[in-house]
Amino acid sequence: MATKCRFIAEPKTAAPKPGVDRGPIHLVEAGLVEQITDLGWKVKFDGHHQFEDVDAANDPPIGILKNPRLVSRVTEAVAKAVGGHARNGELTVTLGGDHSLLDSAHPEACLIWIDAHADINIVETTESGAKVSEFSWVKPLLNADRLVYIGLRDVDAGEKRILRENNIKAFSMHEVDKYGIGKVVEMALDHVNPNRDRPIHLSFDVDALDPSVAPSTGTPVRGGLTFREGHYICEAIYETGLLVALDLMSPLVDVEQEVNPSLADAASVHQTVQVGCSLVRSALGQS
């Protein structure tokens, strides 16, 4: 087992619902660093990235894009941090952030994306037709044949078109129900990593799990993965011995319960945080 694990908590967000900024640090406060250490990993905790220099208040929309400067600057900073550690041969564990963290240190890697949503809408131009220069730093790294989804069940028409036109493989909950999670994971690996020789980046959004399992998310959708199905995915990827990076898109944790208590009560927050920690442990060797 590898012994280096660079652990990055990245809470800054431009999401419209309050509380997601706190998700990553709640996982850390729940003892996740110590839990990973207990599995035999040498953990280097990179701290709680706040990115306080990014001022969302002075970040007007560009066409339909909300907080474009904040999103660009934070995403670039996180990408550089993750890429730097990966180039040092460290397995990176990122809490929060974004699914687009595939790093340049592993250009041949495949991405296994666990999510209820495809999150793949793209904006080449704004409504005015102007180019979005804020994201000019983004360079394509991933071929479509090295991306696979598991758990989709809430995909809009535009995203379906993108998936279809780019021939991106996706296993929805229909396939999970039809074939079982073991077969789906095997088929997913056969698609993106047929020879089992490519590094694997696992990006896991907790909303892929059914809300009965992980209730404290900003975008819950019924009919998701069970507790065991989610953990089986993580265990199976670990067993390949090819995991080089892990993202956990962390749960919604309402910062001020008294402001909007309907978003996440304390019990739901605790349950989801515990599940998040458990998923990370499973991806790093706990069985």
What's residue 246's pLDDT? 95
Which tokens belong to 77? 């900073």
Query: What would the pLDDT profile of 141-171 be if each residue is shown by its tens digit?
Result: 899 999 999 999 999 998 999 999 999 999 9
90: left (phi over 0), alpha (psi -120 to 50) or beta: beta
Give me the sign of the Cα torsion angle 21, 24, 27, 29: negative
**Binned average pLDDT, 10 residues per bin, the chain of 287 residues:** 61 45 79 96 80 69 84 84 89 78 80 94 60 84 95 94 96 98 98 98 95 90 97 98 91 46 70 95 96
φ and ψ at residue 233, rounded to 5 degrees: -55, -50
Dist. CA 92–CA 74, nearest whole Å: 17
What's residue 261's pLDDT? 37
b/e sequence 155-166, b meaning 16+ C-beta within 10 Å: beeebeebbeee
What is the reported pTM? 0.88
Dist. CA 17–CA 85, nearest whole Å: 30
